[in-house]
Structure 1
Amino acid sequence: MSERDDPLTIGRRVQQWRAERGLTQKQLAEPAYTPAYISTLEAGRARASDEALKHIAERLGVAFDELVTGRSARLATELRLQLTGAQRTLATCATEEAAELFAAVLAEAERHGLVEEKVAALLGLGECGIDTGDLDAARHRFEQAEEALAGAPLTARVPALRGRATAHYLAGELRYAVYLLESTLDELNRGGLHDPDALLLLYASVIGPYMDMGAHARAAQAAELALALAPQAGDPALVARMHRSVARTLLAEGRIAEADASLAKAAELYRGLQIRTELAHCHWMRGYVCAQNGELDRAEAELREARAMLSAKRAALYTSQVAVELADVLHRRGKSEEAAALLQEVLTDLSSERGALHSAAAHRLLGIIAEDTRDTEAAEEHYVRALSLLERAGAAGDLADLCRLLGDLLRRTGRVEAALDAYRTGLGHRTAPGTTTLGPAPAQPPL
């Protein structure tokens, strides 16, 4: 039974606050009620109506909600202010500090039964876990947020669902991440729940997993839908995130100038919002664009900037991921020793459960560097490790390329049958169906 339904608790509160204000039962009752009614209410022998409690709250000089729950009317507002501070800290300062702030809000919200503030704190703690690479903790926080919103509309649960999908994606569980995002999109669109912010968040989040799984057609479609939704979205941070994600699809289609322009828009928005982590992601993606376009000196500068910003933010997992892409650029610029040292450093922070795709990319590049120095044994070992990681994640496009590299190495060392097996495996992944999910593409929004 809640306090609102407990006449004895409310009666004691009325009696205490009346005494503190020096009011008699008659003064509290007038003009609508009798002193006898107030006496009965204070003794807990009557369940007061909302109208009676509103009258009493007005006479006591307190808010109705404060009278029936015992919570200060200012508490929720104060916690929301603390949440804003924690979110700003997460965006611009140390993640550990932001986590402490979110945890403090969570404790207060749970103590006073404030569901909205509790969910916001849980989402913040989940994002902190994503930043630091503590993916199990992040997923647990997002799951707690979903549980707290069990009876809420789907649109309210989207940030928690998206956060959980992101944690699975970064852990290398691409298929399940895409399933979560697609099934949520399908339910929103088929149910007519056309919430631009929710849809934009989901479409922008699914582009990365699509690309890593080789589902380029779906990635392109998600990017087009995200761009169409952007003018309707009310959150500039969402629009900026969308521009960053869309750039990756544009790049895959060879639209280099458009990709760079999309990233420039994202960087401008994030700079205005002072969201340092997301701004670092923009430098990261711009470095990737430049590398694909052959502008290696500019790519190196952008990736170094991104790595420095993420390192200062203590975003450990993202820092390791961008370091792998920086190492690739360094290798292409003839700085292979520096690249290999950087890769060996970051591999201690990556695993099959934590950054599987970039761990595989690190082993792939170390294999290429080993081949350059004619250390075929080390090269083969790195390729096999990368293959295992990619098979677990289901990254079809990268698997096909890696099988080619391994096949070429085996052929050059005289193992023709093993090389043919590697090539066949690669062809199998290259010719896999376009969809990499558990069913057809999700329904589209009524744009």
Structure 2
Amino acid sequence: MTGQDLVGQRIKTMRRQRGLSQAQLAHPELSDSYVSLIESGKRTPTPAVLELLAQKLDCSLTYLINGVTTEQMREIELGLGYAKIAMENGEVVEARTRYAELLADEGLAGLPQLRQEAEYGLALASRACGDLDAAIALLIGLREREASEISPDRHIDIVTQLSICYREQGRLAQAVQVVEEILGGAVRPVWTDGLIRLGVQALAAYIERGDLLRARHFSAELVAAAERLDTPLARTLTHWQAAILASEIGSEDEATAHFEKAVAIQSEYGDPRRYARLRGDYAVIMSKLRPQEAESWRDLLVKVAKELEESSASSMDKMRCAMGLARAELLLGSPQKAELHIRSVLSMLDGMPEDLQADAHLVAGQIFAELGRTEETTRELAAAAGLLEPLPVTRYTSHSWLTAARILERIDETDRSVDAYQRALACAGL
């Protein structure tokens, strides 16, 4: 049923509730035939006519247009505001509950734009809670709406989030495909912040699936486009992802240069949470490229952890930072301090993506191996293996199995170590 049909039906329902005939409602300003056409959905009333009918029916104009009273509209908008605030504050479970409650309210049926906002918010909250299947289903549903219902900017946001979800599930082909449906033509669309964000997700998927040559070419294109666009968001995101790519191919100086550009831009223009996440990534990645400077990276991560707490960041951001601190303490030869951080990480695993959970168990295994606690090491590696086995084959899973093999070798679990090495090779296509 179209919006026009719904408006007509609401007018008809209110007229009958008031005990009026079509002629009585129409007189003297309108004809009864015109009212009949409106009620049957064959004519679209003008705003002036709708306002007149609302007065005659003694109801709100909001109700005739949307099917909700002014009070109900206020409550819905307030509910959306609270859900959005919860999401921004990292209270993702609370946000998901609020969005789901709003969508269960029949009042949203006649409010397509607000319903779309609630569905999109629920998708983001579901992803943040680790329920990628639910997030993908919602995003696909939104993407398949009529073009008239979805603005071009919102469509790009939806596809960006869909690509992220596919990548986090290890479905790298789909992560790339949904982006290339928009950006893969012979002629690129005019670059905007939204399209740059979309392109960055394709670049991340190229890196993760090991397509580094394609990633190099596309990264150069994105950085050049962002510099021409000259917006802080576009420049930050492209230099950030270019730094990650450079670190993957072992180009330490290039990674440093891109990170320093991104940090400089974000420090001046960005929001505190993104600035903290960027610097956290910087410290984690550079600690791998420059382990001899582990103390500096540890100190930076300590600052980032404090900033994340102050900015009400998500549990995932805090967890990644704590894992970075644990790794830094390992590099500094302080497994006891590393254990304090990894205990915090292990307490936050519920609802996190499986690859992130596996990574946490591997770091825990490394720490317990350093501490000579073989039983705990074995337990953490078993938990990591259970999470890794069903995951798709990617560079990440290959690296993770390699890490597990080395830890098992260290604790003299020779047979299991060989098996893990074989899994790492298989994931690498060898």
TM-score by length of 2: 0.72
Contact 1:300 1:326 in 2 (8 A): yes
Contact 1:41 1:48 in 2 (8 A): no
CA 1:344–1:64 in structure 2 vs 1: closer, same or farther (change >3 Å)? closer
Aligned to 1:296, what secondary structure does the other structure show? helix
1:303 and 2:296 aligned: no
Q: Which residue of 2 aligns with 1:285?
A: 281
- Structure 1 segments unaligned to the other structure (5+ residues): 30-36, 433-447
Aligned to 1:28, what secondary structure does the other structure show? coil
Q: Which residue of 2 aligns with 1:334?
A: 333
Q: Which one-letter code corresponds to 2:122 in the other structure?
A: L
Deviations 1:87-142, CA, capped at 9 Å, x for gaps: 466335755665576557656785342223222222223323444xx222x64245
Measure, in 1, the Cα distance between the counterparts of 2:416 and 2:135: 45
Pairwise CA distance, 1:217: 3.7
Superposition RMSD in Å: 4.7
Find runs of 4+ consecutive structure 1 residues off by over 6 angstroms.
14-17, 43-46, 60-66, 71-82, 232-235
Contact 1:162 1:205 in 2 (8 A): yes
Q: Which residue of 2 aligns with 1:32?
A: none
* Relative contact order higher in (CA < 8 Å, ≥ 6 apart): 1
Aligned to 2:29, what secondary structure does the other structure show? helix
Measure, in 2, the Cα distance between the counterparts of 1:26 and 1:355: 63
Contact 2:143 2:155 in 1 (8 A): yes
Residue 49 (structure 2) aligned to one of 56, 70, 73: 56
Q: Which residue of 2 aligns with 1:143?
A: 137
Residue 244 (structure 1) aligned to one of 216, 240, 243: 240
1:257 and 2:251 aligned: no
CA 1:260–1:389 in structure 2 vs 1: closer, same or farther (change >3 Å)? farther
Pairwise CA distance, 1:84: 6.8
Measure, in 2, the Cα distance between the counterparts of 1:379 and 1:96: 31
Pairwise CA distance, 1:336: 0.7
1:189 and 2:188 aligned: no
Q: Which one-letter code corresponds to 1:362 in the other structure?
A: A
CA 1:360–1:280 in structure 2 vs 1: closer, same or farther (change >3 Å)? same
Q: Which residue of 2 aligns with 1:90?
A: 87
Contact 1:105 1:121 in 2 (8 A): yes
Pairwise CA distance, 1:328: 0.3
CA 1:238–1:421 in structure 2 vs 1: closer, same or farther (change >3 Å)? same
Q: Which residue of 2 aligns with 1:438?
A: none
- Structure 2 segments unaligned to the other structure (5+ residues): none
Measure, in 2, the Cα distance between the counterparts of 1:428 and 1:66: 61
Aligned to 1:334, what secondary structure does the other structure show? coil
Deviations 1:202-230, CA, capped at 9 Å, x for gaps: 33234445545544444444433432443
Contact 2:11 2:39 in 1 (8 A): no
Measure, in 2, the Cα distance between the counterparts of 1:303 and 1:90: 24
Deviations 1:247-304, CA, capped at 9 Å, x for gaps: 3223333222322322332344323xx5x3x333123212224423343233223323
Q: Which residue of 2 aligns with 1:442?
A: none
Contact 2:301 2:325 in 1 (8 A): yes
Residue 161 (structure 2) aligned to one of 150, 160, 163: 163
Measure, in 2, the Cα distance between the counterparts of 1:125 and 1:180: 21
Aligned length: 408
Pairwise CA distance, 1:327: 0.3
1:349 and 2:342 aligned: no
Contact 1:383 1:406 in 2 (8 A): no
Q: Which one-letter code corresponds to 2:342 in the other structure?
A: L
Pairwise CA distance, 1:184: 0.8
Pairwise CA distance, 1:368: 3.3
Alignment of 1:31-430 (within 5 A): 37-38=31-32, 40-42=33-35, 50=43, 53=46, 56-57=49-50, 87=84, 90-91=87-88, 94-95=91-92, 102=99, 106=103, 111-131=108-128, 134-136=129-131, 139-153=133-147, 156-167=154-165, 169-170=167-168, 173-174=169-170, 176=171, 178-190=172-184, 194=189, 196=191, 197-230=193-226, 237=233, 240-252=236-248, 253-254=251-252, 255=254, 256-271=256-271, 276=273, 278-292=274-288, 293-294=290-291, 295-311=293-309, 313=312, 315-350=314-349, 354-375=352-373, 379=377, 382-383=380-381, 385-393=383-391, 394-396=393-395, 399-400=398-399, 402-403=401-402, 406=405, 410=409, 413=412, 415=414, 423-430=421-428
Deviations 1:156-178, CA, capped at 9 Å, x for gaps: 544334334434544xx32x1x2
Q: Which one-letter code corresponds to 1:356 in the other structure?
A: E
Q: Which one-letter code corresponds to 1:306 in the other structure?
A: V
TM-score by length of 1: 0.70
Q: Which one-letter code corresponds to 1:125 in the other structure?
A: L
Q: Percent identity?
A: 17
Which stretch of the first structure deviates more once superposed, 247-256 or 374-383? 374-383
Pairwise CA distance, 1:76: 8.4
Aligned to 1:152, what secondary structure does the other structure show? coil
Contact 1:158 1:198 in 2 (8 A): yes
CA 1:25–1:428 in structure 2 vs 1: closer, same or farther (change >3 Å)? closer
